[in-house]
């Protein structure tokens, strides 16, 4: 058995990029779940990770050989308000590995103790948010959405004080990197142009090597980040996913979904759906996510101005030209995504008509598309029409849809419509059971949603929408 072969490129950057700090030692670490499939995929020894030595690393109890723990510095706009210093206040980047496919990956502990960036927080994570991120991030990976991954969830054996005392836990997160829009903002706010250039060079080398060939590599990087974010947010929209806390420090420049705090999935379709308890003005509602995406990218462009061009007016024009195409790229990805979900050629007008119908009728977002997929496969219509307040509206719409549906598109339709998603009430049930010491619902839910397209007769109830008394009205960051 062997531990990770660390090679820590971020730790070789200048000291101002991070603070070197070891994780807290968990008093009684216990493995809740190890993602053995992910471990094998990225070249880690699952047997070692399950060992006493591995558990010590995953819980923060010991620093593994080759690890150089650090907390990353970054700033950010949180709900539109500027915070000049945030940083990893409860996370430790243990280091990096290079996977068998050549991808460089971060291994980070989340909930592993206080750092110089903790801002009076305890640096710990409660069990609930750790389980939520494990469930949802692994579902996102299963349906092909770029995302950070959950390698392990570990109970620490301590109580963390929030509104009440809660069991503590640590999540081991795998990411292409943890460089955020807010990382660039941190140096821009301090007028540290040299560090902005160093960070841009690092991101280009690690994530966008093709940009090196461009006349202006930083501009090319900004264009590529913009494209990735447009495609990513379109994928969220196609799943009814609401991130809930799209602050600039929660937008990762490699284009992965990161920081699953108060995230949720729509049940009944309403474009203005918000779940996060701290999003009181609906800034991060489902329908607003693309607008926030371009706003965040504009903040990235702003932070890159000093290294885009020596002349500020020219730099601004270049930045605007790089971020400007976001809307077109997003709309193209969204139209293609929903065309696949409907099994039809791209038809934006029909898609908008569908959104209005779904909202007027209160249709369940996920069941609408899974029931439609079954109709496309020759199944009955009753499950689909049952989603409507007025069944006649369903029949009228189905008549229009049949004229557009192309059976050749059925495989793409099936691939675009997972049967099982991490329903908010199921996630909450799993968390509440775990808090009471029963992890079986958590284990079952992970198994179900990481096989989201497969028929699972023994778990058919996980497909169902919540009953009125099961509906989750709000989600919480849990920090």
User: pLDDT digits over 186-208, tens only?
Assistant: 999 999 999 999 999 999 999 99
Which of 303, 324, 345 is the endpoint of a domain? 324
43 among the known binding-site residues?
A: no
Domains in the chain: how many in total? 3
Confidence check: pLDDT of 323 > 70: yes
Asked whether residue 366 falls in the same domain as residue 295, the answer is no
Residues 411 and 363 reside in one and the same domain: yes
Stretch 13-42: mean pLDDT: 97
Residue 89 marked as a ligand binder: yes
Residue 200 resides in a domain: yes
| Residue located via tokens 């249709």 | 363
pLDDT band per the 50, 70, 90 thresholds, residue 327: very high
Same domain, 16 and 148: yes
Are 215 and 189 members of one domain? yes
Give residue 478's pLDDT. Answer: 56
**Dist CA 440 CA 477 (whole Å):** 23
Task: Identify whether 467 is part of a domain.
Answer: no
Q: What is the mean pLDDT of the chain?
A: 96
| Beta-bridge mates of residue 152 | 34, 172
Shared-domain flag, residues 344 and 404: yes
State yes or no: is 249 an active-site residue: yes
Whether residues 127 and 265 fall in one domain: no
Query: How confident is the model at residue 422, as a pLDDT?
Result: 98
Q: What's this model's pTM, rounded to 2 decimal places? A: 0.96
- Tokens encoding 18: 């991070």
Residues 156-183 have a mean pLDDT of 95
> Do 158 and 211 sit in the same domain of this protein?
no
Q: 259 among the known binding-site residues?
A: yes
246/218 same-domain check? yes
Of 385, 401, 416, the position where a domain reaches its end is 416
Q: Was 180 annotated as part of a binding site? A: yes
Domain boundary residue, one of 271, 303, 324 = 324
Assess whether pLDDT exceeds 90 at residue 470.
no
Say whether both 217 and 233 belong to one domain. yes
Please report the pLDDT score of residue 432 as a whole number: 97
Boundaries of domain holding 411: 334-416
pLDDT for the residue numbered 468: 82
Q: Which one is catalytic: 24, 88, 106, 249?
A: 249
**Ligand-binding site membership of 66 (annotated):** no
Res 476: pLDDT:
61
Are 169 and 89 in a shared domain?
A: yes
């Amino acid at each position: 058995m062997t531990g990770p072969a660390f090679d820590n490129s971020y730790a070789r950057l200048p000291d101002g990029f991070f603070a070197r700090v070891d994780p807290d030692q968990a008093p009684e670490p216990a493995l809740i779940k190890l993602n053995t499939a992910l471990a094998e995929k990225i070249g880690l020894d699952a047997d070692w990770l399950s060992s006493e030595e591995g558990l010590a690393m995953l819980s923060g109890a010991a620093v593994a050989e080759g690890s150089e723990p650090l907390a990353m510095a970054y700033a950010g706009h949180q709900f539109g308000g500027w915070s000049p210093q945030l940083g990893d206040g409860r996370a430790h980047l243990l280091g990096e590995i290079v996977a068998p496919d050549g991808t460089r990956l971060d291994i980070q502990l989340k909930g592993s103790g206080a750092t110089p960036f903790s801002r009076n927080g305890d640096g710990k994570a409660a069990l609930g948010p750790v389980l939520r991120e494990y469930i949802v991030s692994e579902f996102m990976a299963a349906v092909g959405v770029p995302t950070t991954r959950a390698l392990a969830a570990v109970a620490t054996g301590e109580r963390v004080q929030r509104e009440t005392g809660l069991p503590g836990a640590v999540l081991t997160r795998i990411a292409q990197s943890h460089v955020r829009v807010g990382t660039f903002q941190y140096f821009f706010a301090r007028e540290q142009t040299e560090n902005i250039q160093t960070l841009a060079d690092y991101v280009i080398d690690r994530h966008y090597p093709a940009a090196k060939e461009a006349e202006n590599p930083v501009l090319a990087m900004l264009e590529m980040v913009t494209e990735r974010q447009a495609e990513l947010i379109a994928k969220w929209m196609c799943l009814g996913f609401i991130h809930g806390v799209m602050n600039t420090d929660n937008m990762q420049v490699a284009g992965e979904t990161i920081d699953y705090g108060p995230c949720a999935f729509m049940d009944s379709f309403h474009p203005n759906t918000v779940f996060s308890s701290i999003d009181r003005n609906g800034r991060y509602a489902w329908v607003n996510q693309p607008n926030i995406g371009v706003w965040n990218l504009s903040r990235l462009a702003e932070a890159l101005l000093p290294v885009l061009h020596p002349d500020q007016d020219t730099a601004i024009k270049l930045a605007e030209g790089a971020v400007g195409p976001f809307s077109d790229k997003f709309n193209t990805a969204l139209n293609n995504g929903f065309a696949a979900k409907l099994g039809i050629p791209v038809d934006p007008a029909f898609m908008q008509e569908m959104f209005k119908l779904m909202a007027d009728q209160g249709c369940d977002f996920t069941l609408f598309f899974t029931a439609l997929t079954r109709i496309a496969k020759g199944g009955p219509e009753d499950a689909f029409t049952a989603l409507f307040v007025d069944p006649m509206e369903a029949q009228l719409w189905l008549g229009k849809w049949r004229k557009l549906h192309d059976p050749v598109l059925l495989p793409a339709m099936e691939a675009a419509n997972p049967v099982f998603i991490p329903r908010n009430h199921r996630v909450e049930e799993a968390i509440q059971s775990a808090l009471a010491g029963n992890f079986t619902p958590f284990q079952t839910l992970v198994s179900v949603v990481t096989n989201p397209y497969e028929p699972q007769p023994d778990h058919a109830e996980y497909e169902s929408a919540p009953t009125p008394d099961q509906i989750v009205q709000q989600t919480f960051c849990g920090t």
